[in-house]
Chains A and B, each alone.
Chain A
Amino acid sequence: MLVVICIIGAYAYYRQLRYGLVVTAMRDYVSWGIYISNFVFFVAISLVGSLITAILRLSNVKWSTPLTRIAEIIAVSAIVMASLIIIVDMGSPEKFYNLFLYGRIQSPIMWDVIVITTYFFISCILLYLPLLPDLKILIRHKDKTGSGLNKLYRFQGSFWKGTKEQFKISNKSINILCILIIPVAFSIHTVTSWLFATTYRPGWDSTNFGAYFISGAFLVGAGGVVVAMYVFRRYYKLEKYITELHFDMMAKVTVLLALVYLYFNVNEYLVPAFKMKKSEEAHLSNLFSGEFSLMFWFAILVGMIFPIIILLFKKGRKPLPAFITGIMVVVGAWFKRYLFVTPTLLHPFMPMEDVPLSYKHYFPSWEEWAIAMGSLAACLLIITFFARIYPIIPIEETIMEQNEELEHAHEEV
């Protein structure tokens, strides 16, 4: 079914290439629409890689080990889709190479291109290195995986023997990567937020944007991981490895991140509302009680407040409620990204006049929806593809950990 959505999206893109961006509902005022909000959404989700894999791993949090693979896969797929959706948004993608021939380092878009490429590369390596021990196991079980996949595994990791030296180098490299990925992940979303914050517009002209976007990204990443955990647990029957404890801990992390994000939201909206500058007045009242109020309160309540309340209770942190809450977080986050982009563009400094009526409103056209949904479906497709060919739980690491726990238990006895 995901493939079907992707195909519809591809057809819509063909129409866009043929007729120009006029097939979208974007016009001179709302010149950025759901393509850009999808882009921000994808970049946000891709931060999950650094959160789970890097931060939790570096702080020696043991329960996070089974989740690292899921996190990295989500990160890689999201970053790939982010790059693709930004090309879709371009009016003249055939001149894409101009970015490299004539690029200006002064432009925040240039920074974004550089950081996204770097992050993609890091995430790939971070997916690959811990995968090596598992590849060894997979190669052994040729009967279960089939010969085609077996060839792939051999090509990718037959040199891994599991020796002490190899492990030493691998562990050191993974640690270096984990340290490196944190500033890169921070910068990727900060730079994306600067696409907005480097303009003068009310709603975007904020010094808060870097931290605001990053905290939002961490939140949606955590929510995404909870959802993925549940889905894979059910589908692959991994109850023994992704236990209720994992849901409990991830849910607690989500609550913490949601509280942080709520704090930044308060800063972002309450403080300008206190001042009600003329340029921001229309924008803010539109969000609080006007055209976008439904979406705004939905995003705040469903995306942050309800999840916090639900997950504060132990019963709320059980797998199924946590999964539903995770979905709420992700959906709320998508609408929040939409609210970043469109309302500000509808409140420019100069009044919107002398333009066709269609310029003064924005509701995405079917082509835009098709492409946006297509990109989301494609992201899920990539995740599913990776999940099919690689073990969703790092086997070797989990085994090692379980052995360590047993040793500890023995020692105590």
Chain B
Amino acid sequence: MKNLNMPMKKYKYNLVLSSVLLLMAWSVDVVAQGKAAADKPIFKLSYFNVNNSTQYLVFESLMRTEHSVLPQIGKEYEIFLGDTSALVAKIITDKHGKANAVIPPSLKQAWEASSQHIFLVKEGDKELISDYTINKAKITIDTTTADTVHSITATVQTLKDGKWVPAADVEMKLGIKRLGGILPAGDDETLTTDSSGTVTTELKKLNLPGDSKGNYLLMAQVEDNDLYGNIIVEKSVPWGTVPHYNADFFKERHLWSTGRHAPLWLVSMALFIMITVWGTLIYLVFQIVKIKKLGVNNTA
């Protein structure tokens, strides 16, 4: 029995050892591959359609290293519409690795010819992006008020064969435009359009502060859609309250105000003390002068 066990044990030991070695070799290989793939450039093109009118492209050029993602600053690229004959713009990236470009009026015919366009990005002769496809689309915001309940409906339509048809299954944010983002009007962070291309939500955020006249902007935003890019539409509504603005901020006197607006009690106390003490001191200086005069007179 013992003899049998020994070879078995050895065999098991060898199996374990070899599998461990294999594992190590594989992981080294993976790490080596990882290191080789470390410095990978990342390019991103985004199309923006604002208020169904203004449109522009934003190009971002980054380099992924082992530890971080760094922007590529000051690099030159060219953006084309459709093919390399129609140059949209020559761009140079800024300190964040981004650059924007508008479609020049010269490409009007090419643009109007179709409802779907492909954008290309080249660096010199190298083609970096060759298949960024955008379909023309637009959003309309409608509002209705029943009793005191406000409803907001956003309709997404895309251009097909010259006609605007509803675009279904489009995810968007619908809400009120705020600093840095959109406050959802209802409960859901995002809404998806149904087969008729619409989303409807009820305004749950009541008595939201607006601007000085009680207006705020409703905003519908489609973000990074595969077909349509980015679409942003705004509409002003008078549903907001007027926030309280402190018009007296620079006139108030506090312990933490600037020197000229010190609290009156402090200023008066300080002045009183200083005038009393220094007044006495000046009087004393005059006394010394008087002594001096007496002395001078005496000799004379």
Contact = CB atoms under 8 A, between A and B. Distances in A.
Contacts of A121: 281
Interface residues of B, number: 28
A159 B291 contact: yes
B247 interface: no
B275 to A, nearest CB: 12
Contact of A103 (B255, B259, B299): B259
B281 A173 contact: no
B284 interface: yes
Contact of A161 (B255, B262, B288, B299): B299
B13 interface: no
Interface stretch (A138-146, A163-171, A326-334): A163-171
B288 A129 contact: yes
Contacts of B267: 105
B259 A184 contact: no
B237 interface: no
Interface string B258-300: 1100110011001000100110110011011011111110110
A96 interface: no
Category for how many chain A residues contact B: 20 to 34
A105 B262 contact: yes
A311 to B, nearest CB: 35
A109 interface: no
Contacts of B295: 158-161, 163, 166
Q: Is the interface of B mostly helix, strand, loop or mixed?
A: helix
Contacts of A128: 288
B277 A180 contact: yes
B256 interface: yes
A111 B296 CA distance: 40
Interface in A158-212: 158-161, 163, 165-166, 169-170, 172-173, 176-177, 180, 184
A165 B291 CA distance: 8
A158 B299 CA distance: 11
Interface in A123-145: 125, 128-129, 132
B292 A159 contact: yes
A106 interface: yes
Interface of A: 102-106, 111, 114, 118, 121-122, 125, 128-129, 132, 158-161, 163, 165-166, 169-170, 172-173, 176-177, 180, 184
Given A161-B294, A161-B299, 18 more contacts: A102-B259, A104-B262, A106-B263, A106-B266, A114-B270, A118-B277, A118-B281, A125-B288, A129-B288, A159-B295, A161-B295, A163-B295, A163-B298, A165-B294, A169-B291, A169-B294, A170-B291, A177-B284
In the A-B complex, list the 5 residue pairs whose CB atoms are closest, starting with the nearest. A159-B295, A104-B259, A159-B292, A173-B287, A161-B295
23 contacts: A103-B259, A104-B262, A105-B262, A105-B266, A105-B270, A106-B255, A106-B256, A114-B270, A114-B274, A118-B277, A118-B278, A125-B284, A125-B285, A159-B294, A160-B291, A161-B295, A163-B295, A163-B298, A165-B294, A166-B294, A169-B291, A173-B288, A176-B280
